[in-house]
């Protein structure tokens, strides 16, 4: 057990290091922008004095590394700074005192919640469907069913998310008005209504992720079924059902966990486009909007959140597949 | 509640039908092993498939909508195209290429045919210049001579034929003129003409797919989109490969600290989701580029190429490492061969198959990333026509699909054009991977 | 014979396998009869279809293999037309299987005893507790160490030889009428092989189980089988009882198989005192990272001599070769060529120093670049070392091809994939010769080849040595090869040289205990060899036990 613990701790440590380095990369990238916050915030009304004042206020006059660590330290406590869009607005309105809503954290938090809800709904639908279909495709490989699903999954992997999204809108919202095509969820909405509004973007994500997950599950299971111990089980006269459940499943756990985690990580990227199509008020849409108006603090913060989620999911996959490996769980 | 009841009923029908199907199969074939050992689930599967087929036929002929019919018709047109393409391949070319075509599944044939159509559209969207034809002849001739000297006679002959064919097509297309009826940034006075070309419904026969919100011909822009979107994606992928494969093979061959450093850098870059990273860098790039659209497009190519080269690096390194452990590499090292010989003469020839497959996959990925960026408004910049931007600009017409189906076609065609190409490339890659993995399955 | 009941009958069986969308024949009309309690040895070279036939006797075909025609009957049951359920009822219960790789054939997720008792429980033969008790009893009979506890371990916690015996126990769990042994000892070292062979033979005798024993090793099958059937490319060559078959084979093919082991080189005069060796490994100590692998290894190779370096896997014999070639610079000691110390790292050796030592590899498949023609493979070192180009290079390549007995006009433009295993190995030899070296390292060059082909390679190497005055370092674990080609023998174990000397002395007692164990563990063609050996050593003194005692 000791060695497993050591490996897991190693991976966790590595994950933390990666996260720190990634945050540094993001910080460097953002600071490579021409001009600075002061110029950006003041826009046309930029004067040397006003710029200097703002720089001092935000801490831009300090050295690079000091700024990085103070940003990282603040980010760890959930303080991502002040949104440029809000600050800009505030500056024009002549209102310099920031209220609670002006911070990046405050504008991101509810949207992050919405995004997690969307990803959660998509995962709830996608994971069971794709595991079952992947298993079936592996068991009945090279049959009509397998070829059909292969074509279907390849097509849906290949299609851009917005194509799938518009096809679904066309079918389920315009031609057969079953679901709303705009997902304007808001706080305090009853759960059922919120669920219905989320369903169409969730279905789009499901289509993309299911295809990926199914293909990976199929490959993992086929790989597994080709191993000599499965042949041995068949030669012992064990029933097909028992072979799957007793012999294949315990060994399939690691690859399947991996597949699920990788695809949840993939969902993170997928939400961006889908949220824009359905005008879903999630972090992806906020991110894209901020990119367009170059709202740096928000871009920086959302980027860090996306990367952190991505790294954590990969880490989780890693750790879980180590834990489910019998060779490591029962050392010599 | 009633829906659930219906579902249970349907499942019952399927299982019951499956049982009947198996039973009758057993009787008809005197209990042949195929029917005797068929699980009930499989038999039910057949019934579900049959029901789906009947449903499809019903929708097509009686109660479906126009889009469903168009999809089915498109499917059949492309199937026929693929079939004839494969038939053609089986007749022409060397014995090896004919064998290739004989073993090719329909999906791969469809993919190849589609890729060729796209390439044709992309190359000949505008007027071909004399200089291009001249350039091809200058490059092609030495190739033909080289092939004559070093390849087998059959291969050399087919290369010569292909070269002549290509030049002939270019010359013909020079006289035929551009495929696109108008220029991609040509603006006409009438904006928002409805597709379909029927004046009664607000169309115009001169603009079969209508015009967009500022009066540009959508058909021309679709065709030019092939040139821009596909061309830019292709260039980006090539760049990504150049960077990724070079570093990957270097790392695999030299190993040691160089490998460690590059691999750790790549690990970090890959820890940020590709699209997110691209969006972040595009924000910065757009600040640098200002209002210069062309410069921003160049930045985009570099950014996506660098992000994507990390994936190429991983693969090239893995493939390289698998080859480097081979005894023939050890033999070459012990002979005293230099790094260049090792990489270009010993490793690279053995890495072409996986790299080619990866090129297809990477191309799809780059293509989709660029399309997504354009769709989000930070990708390929106007005045270049591009599919992602077209989808974004025309998307609201989908809402008219219920009463004016032809109005909704423009955005769907642009999005579909993206999907069709990636599907085609994926089919070909899938087949290649299946072939190279051999009989392991 | 005739009074015994017939258990398995195979009549006119044709099997096909799918390659590249077409069906190729694997077995062409083989007949087979097996009586109760009888052991049939199936032997043949790779590609003879032994394993496929063995599985077909169980009514089982792998994916991509099908029965074209013919019948397989087990105890009156038609296995070709039996339903899946009927076959499942037989497999594991009345017919069992022992696979080549026990490590891969045990499910890594379950304990040995659980896998052992799975078949009895599923077939309703025994209850769990009963079957576990029986498993422990079988482990004891198979002389597994610590039989009470070993079953409660996971497969990866148990050594290869023990796993192989545990798998035999698992096959025995329902007391089947028939067991198929598919090369059960091929992956094992010789000293481990003995105990597995002994325990398999005992248990099959004790329970009077019929068995089909598949192997490519004649000496092994001679110990195990009552009858031997020889297969060649899917056809039956002949079948007879073991003693008749060994003493008096009828067919030429069988005779040639038997003759392989008799190839022997004439003895060479002793090396002159004070002669400078071509290669001297001078007290070399080496390590991979911080793991030490070689300890003070010291031996010499003289001109025109073959030094065989023998030992089991992990003994450090290949590492010694890596030190000589400079791939693994030694920690201490040095490599001398003709009395001169070489730079330790190959990257610091000049072209002429690199040319001196050439290497021939075990796996011809990975030793030749699959994308290059034979002409390029041999031509490159010719050009690289001698500077010949164009027609001169071509002439030299043709000369080398003729030297290795391949027709230049046919093979010059072929790719390695178009050659057989033996031909590929010959090309590997030609590539080494192209450098015009004095010394060649042969790393297990014959162990991946069929015996007849291997013999051809050995003869070629011997001829080249006589004509070109080459020196060989011959790394092998196969003592039969050592007997036929070596002048001197170096025995290695755990990174140390245990004993060395001229071949004649080495194959005569008295020896160092390990040398003795190693040499005596090599199966011989005598059917009584195993019995005699066991009597000599005592039951408790074979295999691991014997090694541990030293």
Shortest Cα distance from C86 to chain A (angstroms)? 10
Is residue A238 less than 8 Å (CB to CB) from chain C?
yes
Could you tell me if B202 and B157 lie in one domain?
no
> Which candidate, B274, B268, B311, B267, places its Cα nearest to that of A265?
B274
- Whether residue B142 is contained in a domain is answered as yes
> Quick one: pLDDT band at residue B237, thresholds 50, 70, 90?
very high
User: Which residues on chain A are in Cβ contact (under 8 Å) with C97?
Assistant: 232, 235-236
- Check A237 against C92: CB less than 8 A apart: yes
Give C24 to chain A, closest Cα distance, Å: 20
Task: Please indicate whether, in this complex, the C-beta atoms of B284 and A30 are within 8 angstroms of each other.
Answer: yes
Going B198 to B203 to B204 to B208, the CA torsion angle's sign is negative
Residues B208 and B134 in one domain: no
* Confidence (pLDDT) at B440: 35
Residue A100: what pLDDT?
41
Strands (E), A181-271: none
B30 close to C (CB below 8 A): no
Helices A104-139 and A144-158: angle between axes, nearest 10 degrees:
160
Closest residue, chain B, to A293 (C-alpha): B283
Q: Mean of the pLDDT values across residues A189-204?
A: 86
Please report which confidence band the pLDDT of residue B386 belongs to, taking 50, 70 and 90 as the band edges: confident
Question: Does B416 sit within 8 Å of A314, measured CB to CB?
Answer: no
Tell which of B46, B64, B82 closes a domain: B64
Res A39 pLDDT > 70: no
The minimal CB distance from A229 to the residues C106, C123, C157 is found for C106
Q: Is residue B429 domain-resident?
A: yes
Give the Cα separation of B280 and A122 in Å (integer). Answer: 25
**Which residue of C lies nearest to B102 if distances are taken between CA atoms?**
C21
Residues B252 and B381 in one domain: yes
* Rounded-to-integer distance, Cα C260 and Cα B431, Å: 46
Distance from CA of A109 to the nearest CA of C (A): 43
Q: Do B375 and A25 touch (CB under 8 A)?
A: no
Measured between its terminal Cα atoms, the distance across chain B in Å is 44
Distance from the B148 Cα atom to the nearest Cα atom in chain C, whole angstroms? 16
What is the mean pLDDT of the segment spanning B12-21?
89
Contact call for residues C366 and B327 (beta carbons, < 8 A): yes
**What is the C-alpha radius of gyration for chain A, rounded to an integer number of angstroms?**
24
Q: Are strands C65-74 and C6-19 parallel, antiparallel or unpaired?
A: antiparallel
| Residue in C354, C370, C380 closest to B334 by CB | C354
Our count of domains for chain B comes to: 3
DSSP assignment of C471-520, as one string? EEEEEES-HHHHHHH-SEEEEEETTEEEEEEEHHHHTSS---HHHHHHHH
A234 touches chain C (CB under 8 A): yes
Task: State yes or no: pLDDT of A24 exceeds 60.
Answer: yes
Residue C135 CA to residue C142 CA, distance in Å, equals 10
**Chain A residues within 8 A of B408 when measuring between CB atoms:** 170, 174
Same domain, B272 and B363: yes
- Which residue of B336, B343, B352, B436 to mutate against C (max C Cβ within 10 Å)? B336
- Sheet strand arrangement including C210-215: C95-98, C178-182, C210-215, C39-43, C227-232, C235-241
Of A228, A238, A327, the CB nearest to C105: A228
Beta strand C279-288 with C439-443: parallel, antiparallel or unpaired?
unpaired
Q: Which two tokens stand for residue A217?
A: 């599950």
Contact call for residues C262 and C249 (beta carbons, < 8 A): no
Q: Which of A48-57, B69-78, C66-75 has the lowest mean pLDDT?
A: A48-57
Nearest CA distance, B411 vs chain A (angstrom) = 9
**Same domain assignment for residues B131 and B211:** no
The verdict on B326 touching C (C-beta cutoff 8 Å) is: yes
Residues B200 and B160 in one domain: no
pLDDT computed for residue A245 by the predictor: 85
Which positions 143-202 of A are in contact with B (Cβ < 8 Å)?
A: 144-145, 150-151, 154-155, 157-163, 166-167, 169-170, 174-175, 181
CATH code for position B390: 1.10.3720.10
Domain range annotation of chain A: 36-303
Q: Report helix, strand or coil for C277.
A: coil
Residues B205 and B325 in one domain: yes
Q: Which of C284, C296, C348, C358 is nearest to C325 (CA)?
A: C358
Radius of gyration over alpha carbons of chain B, in Å?
Answer: 27
With a cut of 60, say whether residue A200 has pLDDT above it.
Answer: yes
C→B interface, C-beta within 8 Å: 18-21, 64, 81, 83-84, 325-327, 346, 349, 351, 354, 359, 361, 363, 366-372, 380-381, 384-385, 431, 435
Give burial (CB, 10 Å; 0-12/13-18/19+) of C346.
buried
If chain C, 550 residues long, is cut into consecutive pieces of 10 residues, what is the mean pLDDT of each piece?
Answer: 76 84 84 89 84 89 86 88 86 90 88 91 89 90 85 87 88 90 83 84 86 87 88 87 84 79 73 83 87 89 90 85 90 88 88 89 88 89 88 91 88 86 91 91 86 86 90 87 86 88 78 79 80 74 52
Integer Cα distance of A103 and A82 in angstroms = 4
- A232 at the C interface (CB within 8 A)? yes
Range of the domain at B165: 127-177
| Inter-CA distances, B103 with B6, B88, B112, B224, Å | 44, 14, 14, 35
Give C345's DSSP letter.
Answer: S
The residues, any chain, with a CB within 8 Å of residue C305's CB and separated by 6 or more, are C268, C271, C471, C472, C487, C488
Q: Give me the pLDDT at residue A60, please.
A: 67
Last residue of a domain, one of B14, B33, B64: B64
User: Can you list the domains of chain C with their CATH numbers?
Assistant: 1-91+226-257 (3.40.50.300), 279-508 (3.40.50.300)
Residues B142 and B245 in one domain: no
A324 Cβ contact list (under 8 Å, min separation 6): A253, A254, A257
Q: How many CB pairs under 8 A join B and C?
A: 54
Of B271, B378, B388, Cβ closest to residue A311: B271
Tell me if A237 and C87 make a contact (CB, 8 A cut-off). Answer: yes
- Cβ-contact C329, C345 below 8 angstroms: yes
Q: Which of A69-73, B75-79, C151-155 has the lowest mean pLDDT?
A: A69-73
B-chain residue closest to C81, CA distance: B33
Lowest-confidence segment of A128-137, B84-93, B257-266 by average pLDDT: B84-93
Q: CA nearest A264: which of A130, A154, A78, A168?
A: A130
Fold of A36-303: MetI-like fold (1.10.3720)
Counting one residue from chain A and one from chain B, the pairs whose CB atoms sit within 8 A come to 156
How close, in Å, is residue A22 to chain B by CA atoms?
A: 6
ipTM of the complex, rounded to two decimals: 0.84
- Chain B residue nearest residue C354, CA to CA: B335
Helix H or strand E segment including B185: none
Question: Partners for C (CB, 8 Å, 3+ pairs)?
Answer: A, B
**Rounded to an integer, what distance in angstroms lies between the CA atom of residue A55 and that of residue B46?**
71
Interface of A with B in 14-33 (CB under 8 A): 18-19, 21-22, 25-26, 29-30, 32-33
Residue of B nearest to C87 (CA): B37
Burial of residue C120 (CB within 10 Å: 0-12, 13-18, 19+) is buried
Cβ-in-10-Å burial (0-12, 13-18, 19+) of B260 comes to: exposed
C91, C157, C170: residue with CB nearest A330: C157
Task: Answer whether residue B122 is part of any domain.
Answer: no
Query: Is B363 among the domain residues?
Result: yes
Q: Examine residue B118 and state whether it is found in any structural domain, yes or no.
A: no
Maximal CA-CA distance, chain A:
86
How far from A97 is each of A86, A87, A90, C53, CA to CA, in Å? 11, 10, 8, 87
**CA–CA separation, A61 and A54 (whole Å):** 10
**DSSP line for B211-229:** B-TTSBBHHHHHHHHIIII
Q: Tokens 């003709």 belong to which residue?
A: C338
Per-residue pLDDT at A320: 85
CB atoms C122 and A250 under 8 Å = no
Identify the domain boundary among B64, B89, B117.
B64
Sheet with strand C279-288: strands edge to edge: C291-301, C279-288, C332-337, C340-341
Residue A101 pLDDT exceeds 60: no
Rounded distance, CA B351 to CA B342, Å?
12
In chain B, residues with a C-beta closer than 8 Å to the C-beta of A306 are 272-273, 276
Cβ contact, residue pair C109, A326, below 8 Å: yes
| Average pLDDT over all residues of chain A | 81
* B302 and B378 housed in the same domain: yes
- B283/A291 Cβ within 8 A: yes
Q: Picking from A172-186, A230-244, C480-494, which range would have the lowest pLDDT averaged per residue?
A: A172-186
Q: Is B150 on the interface with C (CB under 8 A)?
A: no
| Residue at B46 is within a domain | yes
Question: Is the same domain home to B372 and B302?
Answer: yes
Q: In terms of CA atoms, which chain B residue is nearest residue A264?
A: B273
Higher pLDDT, B403 or A213: A213
B361, B243: one domain: yes
Considering only the beta carbons, identify the residue of C354, C361, C367 that sits closest to B335: C354
Name the interface residues of C facing A (CB cutoff 8 Å).
58, 60, 62, 87-93, 96-97, 99, 101, 104-110, 118-119, 122-123, 153-154, 156-157, 170
Angle (deg, nearest 10), helices C128-141 and C190-206: 120
Q: Are residues B282 and B138 in the same domain?
A: no
Min distance C100 CA to chain A CA atoms (Å): 10
HSE at residue B354, side-chain half, CA atoms within 13 A, is 17
> Are the beta carbons of A232 and C110 separated by less than 8 Å?
no
- Give which of C310, C386, C296, C300 is closest to C337, Cα–Cα: C300
Average of per-residue pLDDT across B353-358: 86
Between chains, do B33 and C19 touch, taking CB under 8 Å as contact? no
Q: Mind listing the pLDDT tens digit for each residue in B147-177?
A: 777 666 777 777 888 888 888 888 888 888 7
CA distance B70 to B72: 5
Inter-CA distances, A139 with A235, B45, C67, C261, Å? 18, 13, 22, 47
Per-residue pLDDT, B97: 79
Closest residue in chain C to residue A251, using alpha carbons only? C109
Nearest CA in chain C to B326: C366
Comparing A312-326, B109-123, B252-266, the range with the smallest average pLDDT is A312-326
- Give the C-alpha separation, A325 to A4, whole Å: 10
Q: Do the chains contact at B415 and A155, CB–CB below 8 Å?
A: no
Backbone phi, psi, residue C39, to 5°: -110, 125
């Amino acid at each position: 057990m000791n060695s497993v613990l050591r490996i897991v701790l190693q991976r966790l440590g590595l994950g933390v290091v990666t996260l720190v380095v990634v945050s540094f990369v993001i910080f460097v990238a953002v600071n490579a922008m021409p001009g600075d916050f002061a110029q950006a915030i003041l826009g046309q009304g930029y004067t040397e004095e006003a710029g200097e004042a703002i720089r001092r206020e935000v801490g831009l006059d300090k050295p690079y590394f000091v700024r990085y660590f103070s940003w990282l330290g603040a980010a760890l406590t959930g303080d991502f700074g002040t949104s440029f869009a809000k600050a800009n607005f505030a500056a024009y309105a002549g209102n310099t005192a920031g209220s609670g809503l002006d911070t990046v954290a405050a504008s991101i938090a509810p949207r992050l919640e919405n995004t997690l809800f969307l990803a959660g709904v998509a995962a709830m639908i996608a994971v069971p469907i794709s595991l079952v279909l992947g298993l079936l495709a592996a068991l009945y490989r090279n049959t009509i069913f397998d070829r059909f699903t292969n074509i279907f999954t390849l097509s849906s992997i290949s299609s851009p998310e917005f194509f799938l999204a518009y096809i679904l809108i066309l079918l389920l919202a315009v031609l057969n008005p079953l679901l709303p095509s705009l997902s304007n969820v808001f706080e305090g909405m009853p759960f059922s209504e919120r669920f219905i509004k989320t369903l169409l973007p969730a279905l789009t994500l499901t289509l993309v992720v299911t295809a990926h997950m199914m293909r990976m599950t199929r490959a993992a299971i086929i790989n597994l079924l080709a191993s000599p111990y499965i042949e041995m089980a068949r030669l012992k006269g064990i029933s097909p059902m028992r072979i799957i459940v007793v012999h294949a499943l315990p060994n399939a756990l690691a690859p399947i966990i991996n597949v699920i985690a990788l695809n949840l990580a993939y969902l993170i990227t997928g939400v961006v486009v889908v949220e824009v199509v359905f005008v879903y008020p999630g972090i992806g849409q906020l991110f894209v909007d901020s990119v367009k108006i170059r709202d740096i603090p928000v871009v920086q913060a959302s980027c860090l959140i996306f990367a952190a989620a991505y790294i954590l999911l990969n880490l989780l996959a890693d750790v879980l597949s180590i834990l489910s490996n019998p060779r490591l769980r029962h050392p010599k | 509640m009633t829906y659930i009841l219906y579902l249970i009923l349907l499942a019952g029908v399927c299982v019951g039908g499956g049982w009947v199907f198996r039973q009758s199969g057993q009787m008809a074939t005197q209990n042949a092993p195929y029917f005797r050992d068929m699980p009930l689930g499989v038999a039910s599967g057949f019934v579900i498939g049959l029901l789906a087929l009947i449903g499809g036929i019903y929708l097509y002929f009686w109660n479906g909508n126009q889009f469903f019919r168009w999809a089915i018709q498109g499917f059949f047109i492309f199937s026929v195209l693929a079939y004839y393409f494969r038939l053609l391949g089986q007749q022409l070319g060397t014995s090896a290429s004919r064998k290739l075509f004989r073993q090719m599944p329909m999906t791969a044939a469809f993919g190849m045919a589609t890729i060729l159509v796209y390439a044709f559209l992309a190359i000949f969207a505008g007027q071909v210049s004399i200089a291009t034809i001249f350039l091809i002849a200058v490059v092609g001739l030495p190739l033909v001579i080289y092939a004559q000297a070093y390849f087998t006679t059959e291969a050399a002959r087919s290369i010569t034929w292909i070269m002549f064919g290509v030049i002939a097509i270019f010359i013909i297309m020079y006289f035929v003129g551009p495929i696109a009826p108008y220029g991609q940034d040509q603006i006409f006075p009438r904006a928002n003409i409805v597709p379909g070309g029927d004046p009664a419904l607000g169309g115009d026969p001169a603009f079969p797919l209508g015009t967009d919100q500022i009066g540009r011909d959508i058909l021309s822009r679709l065709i030019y989109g092939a040139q821009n979107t596909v061309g830019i994606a292709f260039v980006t992928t090539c760049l990504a490969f150049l960077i990724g494969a070079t570093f990957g093979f270097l790392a695999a061959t030299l190993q040691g600290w160089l490998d460690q450093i590059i691999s750790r850098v790549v690990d970090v870059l890959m820890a940020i989701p590709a699209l997110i990273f691209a969006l972040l860098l595009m924000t910065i790039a757009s600040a640098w580029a200002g209002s210069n659209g062309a410069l921003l497009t160049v930045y985009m190519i570099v950014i996506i190429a660098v992000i994507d080269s990390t994936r190429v690096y991983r693969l090239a390194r893995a493939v390289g490492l698998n080859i480097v452990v081979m005894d023939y590499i050890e033999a070459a090292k012990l002979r005293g061969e230099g790094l260049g010989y090792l990489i270009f003469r010993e490793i690279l020839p053995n890495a072409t198959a996986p790299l080619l497959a990866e090129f297809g996959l990477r191309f799809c990925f780059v293509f989709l990333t660029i399309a997504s960026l354009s769709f989000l408004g930070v990708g390929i910049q106007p005045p270049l026509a591009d599919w992602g931007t077209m989808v974004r600009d025309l998307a609201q017409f989908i809402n008219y699909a219920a009463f004016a189906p032809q109005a909704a076609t423009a955005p769907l065609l642009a999005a579909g054009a993206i999907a069709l190409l990636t599907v085609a490339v994926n089919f070909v890659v899938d087949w290649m991977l299946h072939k190279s993995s051999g009989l392991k399955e | 014979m005739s009074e015994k009941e017939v258990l398995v009958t195979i009549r006119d069986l044709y099997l096909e396998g799918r390659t590249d969308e077409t069906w190729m024949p694997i077995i062409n009309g083989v007949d087979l009869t097996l009586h109760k309690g009888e052991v049939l040895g199936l032997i043949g070279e790779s590609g003879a279809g032994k394993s496929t036939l063995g599985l077909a006797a169980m009514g089982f075909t792998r994916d991509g293999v099908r029965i074209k025609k013919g019948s397989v009957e087990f105890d009156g049951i038609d296995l070709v037309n039996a339903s899946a359920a009927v076959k499942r009822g037989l497999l594991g219960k009345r017919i069992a299987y022992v696979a080549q790789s026990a490590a891969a054939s045990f499910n890594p997720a379950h304990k040995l005893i659980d896998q052992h008792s799975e078949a009895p429980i599923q077939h309703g033969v025994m209850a769990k507790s009963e079957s576990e008790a029986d498993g422990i009893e079988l482990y004891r009979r198979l002389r597994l160490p610590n039989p009470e506890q070993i079953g409660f371990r996971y497969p990866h916690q148990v050594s290869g030889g023990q796993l192989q015996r545990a798998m035999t126990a698992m096959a025995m769990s329902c007391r089947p009428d028939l067991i198929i042994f598919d090369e059960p000892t091929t992956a094992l070292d010789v000293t481990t092989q003995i105990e597995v062979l002994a325990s398999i033979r005992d248990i099959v005798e004790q329970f009077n189980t019929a068995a089909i024993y598949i192997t490519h090793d004649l000496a092994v099958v001679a110990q195990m089988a009552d009858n031997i059937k020889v297969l060649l490319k899917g056809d039956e060559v002949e079948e007879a009882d073991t003693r008749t078959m060994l003493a008096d084979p009828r067919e030429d093919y069988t005779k040639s198989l038997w003759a392989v082991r008799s190839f022997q080189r004439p003895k060479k005069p002793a090396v002159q005192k004070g002669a400078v060796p071509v290669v001297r490994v001078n007290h070399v100590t080496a390590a991979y990272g911080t793991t030490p692998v070689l300890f003070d290894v010291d031996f010499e190779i003289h001109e025109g001599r073959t030094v065989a370096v023998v030992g089991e896997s992990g003994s450090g014999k290949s590492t010694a070769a890596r030190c000589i070639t400079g791939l693994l610079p030694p920690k201490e000691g040095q490599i001398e060529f003709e009395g001169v110390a070489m730079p330790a790292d190959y990257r610091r050796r000049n072209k002429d120093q690199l040319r001196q030592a050439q290497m021939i590899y075990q796996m011809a498949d990975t030793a030749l670049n699959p994308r290059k023609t034979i002409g390029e493979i041999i031509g490159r070192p010719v050009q690289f070392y001698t500077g010949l180009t164009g027609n001169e290079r071509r002439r030299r390549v043709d000369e080398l091809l003729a030297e290795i007995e391949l027709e230049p006009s046919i093979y010059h433009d072929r790719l390695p994939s178009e050659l057989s295993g033996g031909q590929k190995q010959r090309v590997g030899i030609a590539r080494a010769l192209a450098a015009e070296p004095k010394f060649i390292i042969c790393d297990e060059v014959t162990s991946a080849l069929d015996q007849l082909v291997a013999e051809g390679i050995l003869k070629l190497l011997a001829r080249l040595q006589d004509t070109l005055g080459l020196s060989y370092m011959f790394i092998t674990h196969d003592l039969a090869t050592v007997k036929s080609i070596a002048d001197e023998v170096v025995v290695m174990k755990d990174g140390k040289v245990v004993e060395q000397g001229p071949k004649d002395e080495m194959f005569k007692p008295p020896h160092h205990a390990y040398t003795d164990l190693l040499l005596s563990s090599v199966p011989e063609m005598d059917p009584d060899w195993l019995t005699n050996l066991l009597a000599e050593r005592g039951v408790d003194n074979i295999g691991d036990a014997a090694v541990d005692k030293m």
